Structure 1
């Protein structure tokens, strides 16, 4: 299957909306949507780090290999 993005799960656990996360980490809602849907071909480590800081989680909490 490949890498699965569980960003929706972490957003729900932190009671945060996608729009708010996008603003906090400095990317567009459209780009965040692409990442959330798993359609992104790549993710910058700086973006991944910003997401983890904003959601107080580890990369393994939002990325999973199946």
Structure 2
């Protein structure tokens, strides 16, 4: 996958649990887990905004683009 999710890193930096983030953003634990594990196919801007608000971060702190060619040679 070309988009890497760093949600677990931001949660650790903010000392916040997945449960706490789930409550603050209004996402189910299952959906947050899918996102956190990089299994999500899409994310709504409103969800991304809520996560950024809760974690006091920028979208780039959570999402990273990695060229497929680069990631295959890593």
For the aligned pair, the TM-score class normalised by the smaller chain equals: over 0.9
Q: Which residue of 2 aligns with 1:30?
A: 30
Shift of 1:25: 0.3
Unaligned runs of 5+ in 1: none
TM-score for both structures, normalised by structure 1? 0.98
Q: How does 1:16-55 map to 2 (within 5 A)?
A: 16-55=16-55
Cα RMSD for the two superposed structures: 0.6
Unaligned runs of 5+ in 2: 67-74
- 1:6-45, CA deviations, whole angstroms, 9 ceiling, x for partnerless residues? 0000000000000100010001000000000110000000
Q: Which has the larger radius of gyration?
A: 2
